[in-house]
Amino acid sequence: MFAYYLDLALRSLKRNKVLTALMVLAIAVGIGASMTTLTVLHVLSGDPLPGKSGELYYPQIDPQDARGMMPGTLPPEQVTLIDGMNLLRAKRADRQALMEGGAVPIQPDSSAFDPFYVEARYTTADFFAMFDAPFRYGHGWSGADDEAHARDVVITRQLDDKLFNGADSTGRALRIGGSTFRIVGVLDDWRPNPHFYDLGTGSYDYYEQVFMPLQTALELHFDRNGSVDCWGNGTGGQEGSAYPSPTCAWLQFWVELDSPAKAAAYKQFLIHYSEEQKTLGRFVRAPNVQLRDLMQWLDYNDVVPSDVRLQAWLAFGFLLVCLVNTVGLMLAKFMRRSGELSVRRALGASRRALFAQLLTESGVIGIAGGAGGLLLALLGLWLVRRRPSDYAALAHLDPEMLAVTFALALGASLLAGILPAWRACNVSPALQLKSQ
């Protein structure tokens, strides 16, 4: 029966090509605009570590002085070096990583390259396993290497391709800032978006090419590029080799906890730690801690730009306008066929059969509009990628959003066809046949 309805729908649409084209165009324009913005929103609000994000938490404690203290004040978004090292060495989580971003000079052995700077991540041994960073060659360093201030380094595939033509470079030497490091691992393609583990360096389109032990970087006074939150007599220090004072929060600290019970226990540990530090005279305020998982942390920091959300709402409003126009066009088309439909009713067709026939016709319009909308969405995403924003390069249509495009087009056209089909099916056959 569906094949019969489909044949009738195609014949009907061919009879009035102009009206059919207008309906398809209305659906296509609305779908193209809405899917362009929805795809961008989908990419930016996606989970950077599916299956793992619920186990990653960002602890916050409050070591600030009493100045400006008010009820409900949130703790700093980063930790001091003292607190970071204390929490790291407490080892109360399954894994933990203390880190900071920076930039380091690479001094290639080959004369084909002049020295150049790359973004770097100064971190601790659990970083790679905690964030599921894939290795192409080798592995990360160990906790013992952290304590020993080892001159070990992990580089990215891109840097390995540039310096060693993609060969296995583990065990080879690499000069960084006047010091010789041993390459222990080469990461495979890994560029999480958003850059969740340190949003201060940029939310999107930011990645490091060198990873080294945090204490090694501190010892060698490598440049840092993150934000600083100081209080009391603290100072942000001089950008470059000088690091912030003990009364400055400037490091990021992440923990992995594989169950809600462990998360609750860790939060209680943070409260006890804060009470202990207050007893020792380091903390002034009452315990003020937060423990958000990865997705909660992204929401807290409003990682998805507000203008992207606004554009998505506006695009769906435009789609609604297109649907209203489509309803009018379908109503005009179906009502003009009242005579034909009345003849079918007189020959024994039920209202339900006519309704199904007209909805099938609406569905065909939706599929055609979806195809046109897909082309417009691809054009819209191409234009987004030309914008000077840090997330522009991420605007690509994945298979999931491709399926959503046609599902939305089909659903929208069927929704638009309900009222016109119902009106056309309820016209009195007797009046139409008499007028014939």
Residue 348: the pLDDT is: 61
Residue/partner pairs of 67-72 with CB below 8 Å, 24 or more apart: 67/231, 67/232, 69/284, 69/285
Tell me how far apart the alpha carbons of residues 372 and 219 are, in angstroms, rounded to a whole number.
59
Give the DSSP letter of residue 245: P
Residue 239: the pLDDT is: 42
Residue 73: the pLDDT is: 82
Residue 238: the pLDDT is: 42
Residue 388: the pLDDT is: 74
Residue 401: the pLDDT is: 85
Residues 139 and 246: beta-carbon distance below 8 Å: no
Residue 339: the pLDDT is: 63
Collect the ranges in the chain with pLDDT lower than 70.
1-2, 4-5, 7-9, 12, 68-69, 203, 233-242, 337-349, 390, 427-436
Residue 432: the pLDDT is: 47
Residue by residue, DSSP assigns 217-233 as HHHHT-EE----EE-TT
- Any idea how long the chain is? 436
Residue 4: the pLDDT is: 63
Within 13 Å, how many C-alpha atoms sit on residue 325's CB side?
18
The predicted-structure confidence for 378-392, as pLDDT tens digits, reads as follows: 998 888 888 777 677
Q: H or E segment at 96?
A: strand 95-107
Tell me how far apart the alpha carbons of residues 181 and 429 are, in angstroms, rounded to a whole number.
88
Residue 241: the pLDDT is: 40
Residues 35 and 408: beta-carbon distance below 8 Å: yes
Partners of 185 in beta bridges: 138, 154
Number of Cβ within 10 Å of residue 199's Cβ equals 21
Return the amino acid letter for 68. Answer: G
Residue 274: the pLDDT is: 96
